[in-house]
A and B are shown apart, each in its own frame.
Chain A
Amino acid sequence: MPDDDPIAAIMARCALRDAQAFAQLYRHTAGKLYAVALRILRREDWAEEVLQESFVNIWNHVGEYSAQRSAPMTWMTAIVRNRALDWLRRPRQEHGSEDYDLLVETLADDAPGPEQALQSERAARALAECLKRLPSNQRQSIALAYAHGLSHGELARHLRQPLGTVKTWIRRGLEKLKSCLDDH
């Protein structure tokens, strides 16, 4: 399955230290990955920094990527997300704007993303369906946490709920999501 992915092919060439392939990988994926970083960090200068660090990381570790374990885009996105979360949690950081766009609606939308080539359409549909089946508070907490990198505490403040309640929403939501996705 990942073998059909054009990104996997480019990544294999990057593992051969092919600089041109790396430039190609950047052209194909930077827009998406920058957007993911921006959504979490909400500041362009930070997102640029994180994107740069992430791609250097991708270049250095592309040989360790294993197609059996995850899709190439998922692997790269995880690197960007981890960097962004670490960046966000650095001490002494003033925060970006707190104006989280309402992506909860877009999430429940059946319309597949613009890049079926990268994301399995079926997986996307299954996730959208399973998210829809969650109570709205659980769905919203999960979506906000994932998209914007909110901690339990930030979620609690944002949703004006006690911390324990939000933690329970997330935990229950993830449990239900798992069993729903496993049934698909």
Chain B
Amino acid sequence: MKYRNELVREALAAEYALGTLQGCARRRFERSLRDDPALRRYVAHWQERLAPLDAAVAPVQPPARVWRAIERRVTAAPRGWAALWDSLGFWRAAAFGALAATLILAASLGVLQSERVELMVVVMSDERAEPKMTVSWEADGRGDKRLRIRVLGHAEMPPDTAWELWMLPGGDGKPLSLGLITTHETQSVPVPRELATAINAAWGLAMSVEPKGGSPTGLPTGPVLYKGQCTRL
């Protein structure tokens, strides 16, 4: 069900955060929350407004059995770098920003150092800062360099359009084309030879929607869907 009036929507979000929206109304509201980001923002804002009410609560130490039960239930989780690489949660965490990039660096150093590989990683997000695509490559790999691309979720490309990947050199530098990519979940594309060195110093990457065959001008002409900053791991 849709709540059309913005004031009503915000009032419902307030009562939801307060806890007085209950029973069927609460469940109906929760169903609407699932695919209504604007409504989720109202709720988050109200939760933030009311949060100081919890600051007055004195902490109470729960019995040790609670942690033991939790630990038992979560230990079956997958582990290791490969599992991390494939987990959407990992990439969402990466999108936390500079802080997370540093943490990821710290968390991954052990593994990466043992492999003697320096990786460049870009988490590309849409305009709502949701991670949509990741691109990585070996920073100092010799010979042919390839970008490993992972498209998160189910992306769709309208007919007669193409996705073109761009390197953003940073500063006043113009975007340089890295070629066309597809919507496939995992793909690997070669880095143009003339960009193989420059890409390690790039500020970030962007992906734009272009006419079939790619941009006719050599610069992005369509909307930039995803964009992200390079991080060296």
Which A residues fall within an 8 A CB radius of B?
Answer: 3, 8-9, 12-13, 15-19, 22-23, 26, 30-32, 34-36, 38-40, 47-48, 51-52, 55-56, 59-60, 62-71, 73-75, 77-78, 81, 85, 89, 103, 106-107, 109, 112-115, 118-119, 123-124, 127-128, 142-143, 145-147, 149-152, 155, 170-171, 174-175, 177-178, 181
Q: Does the CB pair B20–A9 fall under 8 Å?
A: no
Q: Does the CB pair A31–B60 fall under 8 Å?
A: yes
Q: Does the CB pair B18–A170 fall under 8 Å?
A: yes
Q: Min CB distance, B99 to chain A, in Å?
A: 5
Q: Does the CB pair B77–A12 fall under 8 Å?
A: no
Known A-B contacts A16-B84, A74-B47; A62 and B89 likewise in contact (beta carbons under 8 Å): yes
Beyond A17-B83, A31-B61, A63-B92, 16 extra complex contacts between A and B, CB < 8 Å = A8-B99, A18-B107, A30-B67, A32-B57, A35-B58, A51-B66, A52-B66, A56-B74, A59-B74, A62-B93, A66-B129, A70-B47, A71-B51, A85-B19, A113-B56, A118-B55
Contacts between chains A and B (CB distance < 8 A), count: 193
Q: Min CB distance, A75 to chain B, in Å?
A: 8
Known A-B contacts A15-B89, A16-B103, A26-B70; A34 and B51 likewise in contact (beta carbons under 8 Å): no
Q: Does the CB pair B90–A16 fall under 8 Å?
A: yes
Pull 11 A–B residue pairs with CB atoms less than 8 Å apart, ordered by A. Answer: A8-B99, A13-B107, A34-B61, A48-B65, A74-B48, A77-B51, A77-B54, A85-B19, A107-B56, A124-B55, A147-B53
Known A-B contacts A31-B59, A51-B62, A123-B51; A17 and B79 likewise in contact (beta carbons under 8 Å): yes
Known A-B contacts A51-B62, A64-B89; A17 and B70 likewise in contact (beta carbons under 8 Å): no
Which 4 residue pairs spanning A and B have beta carbons closest together?
A: A63-B89, A113-B55, A31-B59, A15-B93
Q: In the complex, A32 Cα to B67 Cα: how many Å?
A: 14
Q: In the complex, A128 Cα to B69 Cα: how many Å?
A: 37
Q: Does the CB pair B50–A146 fall under 8 Å?
A: yes
Chain B: interface secondary structure? Answer: helix
Q: Does B212 contact A (CB under 8 A)?
A: no
Q: Does B87 contact A (CB under 8 A)?
A: yes
Q: Does the CB pair A38–B56 fall under 8 Å?
A: no
Chain B contact-residue range equals 35 or more
Task: Indicate the member of B18, B41, B77, B98 with the most A CB atoms within 10 Å.
Answer: B18
Q: Does the CB pair B48–A123 fall under 8 Å?
A: yes
Q: Does B201 contact A (CB under 8 A)?
A: no
Q: Does the CB pair B18–A145 fall under 8 Å?
A: yes
